[in-house]
Chains A and B, each alone.
Chain A
Amino acid sequence: MSTPNRFIIFMAILIGCIGSLYFFSLLFFIPLYVTTALIVVAAALLFMWIIPSGATPDNNLPAYSNRKEWVGIVILAYGIIWMAIVAPEKANKYGEWDAYTIWNLHARQLADPQHWKTIFRYTDVHADYPLCLPATLAYFMRLFSSPDSLILPFVFHMLVTISLPALIYGELWRKNAVVAAIVLAMFPIQVFYIFQGTSQYADVLLSFFFLCAIICMNYSRQNRKYLMLSVLFLGCCAWTKNEGLLLATVMLVVYSRRYFAKDNIKYTLLTLLAPIAVIGTFKIICPVSNDLVSESGTTTWGYLLDSDRYIMVFNYFILTAGKKFVYIGLLFGIYLTICLVRKKRPGLEFLLFASCLFAYFMVYVLTPKDLKWHLYTSCERLFVQLYPLMLYAIGMDIARMKWSISEIVQQKNSLQQPITAGTKQKIKAAAPSNKHNRGKKEKKR
Chain B
Amino acid sequence: MKNILFITLIFLGVVYATVNFEEKISSIYGLIDNVKDGLAEVTKNASRDANYSFRFLGDTTKTYIMSTYTRYLLAPNYVSNNASEYDTMLTICDARLYATAKHEIEDDRNVLMKQRYNQYYFIETSRK
Which residues of A are at the interface with B, using a C-beta cutoff of 8 A?
2-4, 7-8, 69-70, 72-73, 76-77, 80-81, 83-85, 87-89, 91, 93-94, 97, 100-101, 105, 108-109, 111-112, 114-115, 118, 121-122, 124-125, 147-148, 150-151, 154-155, 158-159, 162-163, 166, 170
* Contact A148-B71, Cβ < 8 Å, known A93-B28, A163-B10: yes
* Nearest B-chain residue to A159, judged by Cβ: B14
Q: In the bound complex, how far is the Cα of B67 from the Cα of A223, in angstroms?
A: 49
The interface residues of chain B, by DSSP majority, are classed as helix
* Nearest A-chain residue to B27, judged by Cβ: A93
Contacts of A80 in B (CB 8 A): 9-10, 12-13
Contacting residues of chain B (1-55) with chain A, CB-CB under 8 angstroms: 2-3, 5-7, 9-14, 16-18, 20-25, 28, 30, 32, 48-49, 51
Contact indicator A81/B13 (Cβ below 8 Å): yes
10 additional A-B pairs beyond A105-B72, A147-B70, beta carbons within 8 Å, are A69-B2, A70-B2, A72-B2, A108-B70, A109-B70, A115-B49, A115-B69, A118-B67, A151-B21, A166-B9
Q: In the bound complex, how far is the Cα of B86 from the Cα of A124, in angstroms?
A: 14
Contacts of A114 in B (CB 8 A): 48, 69
* Contact A76-B67, Cβ < 8 Å, known A69-B2, A84-B16, A151-B18: no
Contacts of A111 in B (CB 8 A): 70
Contacts of B17 in A (CB 8 A): 83-85, 87-88, 154, 158, 162
Contacts of B30 in A (CB 8 A): 93
Q: In the bound complex, how far is the Cα of B2 from the Cα of A69, in angstroms?
A: 8
Which residues of B are at the interface with A, using a C-beta cutoff of 8 A?
2-3, 5-7, 9-14, 16-18, 20-25, 28, 30, 32, 48-49, 51, 65, 67, 69-72, 74-75, 78-80
Contacts of B75 in A (CB 8 A): 97, 100-101
Q: In the bound complex, how far is the Cα of B9 from the Cα of A8, in angstroms?
A: 12
Contact indicator B69/A112 (Cβ below 8 Å): yes
Q: In the bound complex, how far is the Cα of B20 from the Cα of A206, in angstroms?
A: 26
Q: In the bound complex, how far is the Cα of B51 from the Cα of A402, in angstroms?
A: 64
* Nearest A-chain residue to B29, judged by Cβ: A93
Contacts of B11 in A (CB 8 A): 159
Q: In the bound complex, how far is the Cα of B80 from the Cα of A121, in angstroms?
A: 12
* Nearest B-chain residue to A165, judged by Cβ: B10
- Give 15 pairs: A residue, B residue, CB < 8 Å, sorted on A: A70-B2, A73-B6, A76-B6, A80-B12, A81-B13, A88-B20, A91-B24, A93-B24, A97-B75, A100-B75, A118-B49, A125-B78, A147-B71, A150-B25, A158-B21
Instruction: Tell me the smallest distance from the CB of B78 to a CB of chain A, in Å.
Output: 5
Q: In the bound complex, how far is the Cα of B20 from the Cα of A85, in angstroms?
A: 8
Contact indicator B10/A154 (Cβ below 8 Å): no
Instruction: Tell me the smallest distance from the CB of B26 to a CB of chain A, in Å.
Output: 9
